[in-house]
Structure formats: structure tokens, C-alpha cells
Structure 1
Amino acid sequence: MGINLAKGQRIDLTKTNPGLTKVIIGLGWDTNHYHGGHDFDLDASAFLTDANSRVIEDSDFIFYNNLVHSSGSVEHTGDNRTGEGEGDDEQIKINFSKVPTYVHRIAITVTIHDAEARNQNFGQVSNAFVRVVDADSGREVLRFDLGEDFSVETAVVICELYRHNGDWKFNAVGSGFAGGLAALCRNFGLEV
């Protein structure tokens, strides 16, 4: 069992776990039981940014329509459209040794697909979590449970992995956005 983090906490990943080069970012959630006529489709994404938290190229945005970064450093394993079942609902694999040098941060986000049209928001999502797993051993390194802090938000920056003095660290962000994926893309410098 890994370390449980609270919102705002930061922790070393590679310094305290020597040899950790490949991780799986597992994301999971449940939707509260209500009937709005539509299923919930939550989508994980990764924004590979520079030191100013800006995406340099469109290809630095990894999501269900761009599953693998050109460097091979970040891979989205595919879209789970219902969130049914136990464990991780979506996963993003990261190989730190392949991350291009211009990338300083990897922001992991979750958005609700068609949230506005379906009248859905993160106030209707519960038990959301992110966990970091050592891809080689399968050991859970850390976990961050988001709690129930959201109401009208349709997108959340769950966490960031960032470089610091040659090592990778983890920041439990848990910051919500209204405006869904478009608002997130603009936040990271992408044209929508």
C-alpha cells in the first residue's frame, strides 16, 4: 500500500523510489445514482507542458483521440465510456526516461464528456481517485482521493508530475474548472 496524499501535498517520486522510471497513473470514479437520461462519460487526459505550464504543440495533449505521445513517453490506454466496475477506470502510462527535455510538467486531468448538454458536473461524481503504480513491480506508490469538494465543475486537474533538480515529483492538485475540456485546453495554451 502506497502513501495517501491530501490536496496540495507534494512528494518525491523518483528520488525516494530509486529506479522508478515507468509508472501507471490509474484514475477511478463513481457516479452518484440519479437518472438524468444520460450515462456519464469521464475522460482522462495528460497535458505535457513547458516550465510556464503551456503546451508547446498540439501533440503534447494526450487524450482519447491522441493516445500516444510522439516520444513514446506518455500513453493513454483507452477510453472507458461508462466508469463501470472496480479499480482504475482509465490509465495513463508514463516512461520518465523518454519524456522530452522541454517538458517540465505532466498535468493529469479528468473531464466530463458533453457535460453541459447532459447537465452533468463533478458534484455528481464520488470516490474519485488517482494512484501512481510502479509499472515494473505493480506496487502502488501513492494515492490521492479527491473527496467531494466539487459542485458545478466539469473538469478537474487531478495532479501534476513535474521535474525538480533532475527528479520527478507528484503534486496532488484537485483543482476544478467550469467549461469542461475547452476551458482546460485554453488554460494550458491550446487553441480550441
Structure 2
Amino acid sequence: MAISLQKGQKISLEKSNGSSLTNLCVGVNWGAITKKGFFGTKTVAVDLDASCAVFDANKKLLDVVYFGKLQSTGIQHSGDDRTGDTDGDDGLDNEVINVKLPQLPAAADQVVFVLNSFSGDDFKTIPFASIRLYEGTPTQVNSIHAVYDIANDEKFAGSVSMVLGKLYKHNGNWKFSAIGETTKDKKLEQTVKTVETAYL
């Protein structure tokens, strides 16, 4: 049974059989915007970008994985999705970041996941958006560990950047913290700087 995460909630990456989740996919799913016009409604594609930044215990940035750099040690990005679900929620993730925890650099202490609206559409206007942590691959979901709904919310109005959550080491074990907070940033580089100063 998948955990339904709340903002600020922290969870261990322990499976129901007691073993640790080591190969983790963080999938982001979102919908296209329906706009009403003079001649009826039309569906407008939304280009969101899921990225992650890896930091060491001294809060030093080690690497960033995003649509322009799809791979790092222990991390693989599925690639850029520029439209979202234009025909309603198909239940599949639009972008997936696969993290193999044992393969991360030894110095890695936190992996922070962020979402930026490349198309400039603010998060309040997007009909649905969620992230989920699961075991499997970008094309196959074996077991969903946790789901975090970040659907349109009044407090998201005007924001095009969001800190989704982070993997972090605690007493040698990896845990996940759901953050779900928008930032004032417009670009990924700025969002990573905000993470460095406020979310580590």
C-alpha cells in the first residue's frame, strides 16, 4: 500500500518485507492546461522540467541532473517531456528520475528534487500534478512506495518553480522528506541556489 505523503512528512525507504529500497524512481506526472477562448476550449501543452541536485554533507553542490544533462553517477533522467498529459491523466509519469542509492558518490548526502515550469505556466493553472516514489524503471512500475499530490493550489499562484522533496542520509540510511514548496525563482540555476540556502 503506497504512502500518501503530506507536506513536511518524512519517511524511511523501507519496504514491507523490512528490506531497504535501493533502486528508486521519482516520477512526476502533470496535465496540460485547458483554456477557454472565443471559439470554445483548447488544450495547451505544459512543459515542466523535473531535475535533481546532489549535495555533500557540507552542503556543497556535487552535480545537477536535468533535461540538458540526463546522467550522473547513480542517477538517470528519462528525458524531457514538453507537453504533459494532453488527453487527461494517463496514469503514467511524464518525467522519471531513477536513483540507484548504492551507486551514488560516497560523498552524496542529499538529493533534492525540483520542478520548473519551462513554459512559464504557473502551478495554480495546471489541472493535476503529482510525484511518486516507486521501485522499478522509467517504463515499468513494480511497487509504488509513496505518492505526493501537488495539484493546483491557490498558494501556488504566480509560481513557476517548486522544491518537491529530498532524499537524505540519516544515521547511514536514506530517507525521503516531502517539501512541496514553491520558490520565487524562474530558472533551474536560481532554484538550485534557493535549495542551497533554504532546504538543506
- Whichever residue aligns with residue 148 of structure 2, its letter is F
The 2-side partners of 1:53 and 1:171 are apart by 17
Match of 1:144 in 2: 148
Larger radius of gyration: 2
- Whichever residue aligns with residue 13 of structure 2, its letter is L
Q: Residue 79 in 1 paired to residue 86 in 2?
A: no
- Whichever residue aligns with residue 98 of structure 1, its letter is Q
Cα shift at 1:188: 4.5
After superposition, residues 36-55 of structure 1 pair within 5 angstroms as 39-55=45-61
- Whichever residue aligns with residue 191 of structure 2, its letter is L
Match of 1:128 in 2: 129
Preserved contact between residue 112 and residue 166 of structure 2 (Cα < 8 Å)? yes
Cα shift at 1:121: 1.2
The Cα offsets for residues 17-41 of structure 1, whole Å up to 9 and x where unpaired, read as 5142101111111243126996321
Preserved contact between residue 10 and residue 170 of structure 1 (Cα < 8 Å)? yes
The 1-side partners of 2:168 and 2:69 are apart by 21
- Whichever residue aligns with residue 98 of structure 2, its letter is K
Could you tell me which runs of 5 or more consecutive residues in structure 2 were left unpaired when the two chains were aligned: none
Match of 1:102 in 2: 107
The Cα offsets for residues 78-136 of structure 1, whole Å up to 9 and x where unpaired, read as 11110125121110000000111211111111101142xxxx21121232111111128
DSSP-derived class of the 1:33 partner: strand
Q: Residue 4 in 1 paired to residue 8 in 2?
A: no
- Flag as ranges the 4+ runs of structure 1 deviating above 3 A: 14-17, 35-39
Distance 1:54 1:124, change over 3 A: farther
- Whichever residue aligns with residue 83 of structure 2, its letter is T
DSSP-derived class of the 1:6 partner: coil
TM norm structure 2: 0.81
The 1-side partners of 2:192 and 2:95 are apart by 20
The partner residue of 1:61 within 59, 64, 67 is 64
The Cα offsets for residues 60-80 of structure 1, whole Å up to 9 and x where unpaired, read as 1000111010x2x01101111
- Whichever residue aligns with residue 184 of structure 1, its letter is T
Query: Greater shift after overlay, 36-45 or 157-166?
Result: 36-45
Q: Residue 167 in 1 paired to residue 170 in 2?
A: no
- The structure with higher relative contact order (CA 8 Å, sep 6+) is 1
DSSP-derived class of the 2:127 partner: strand
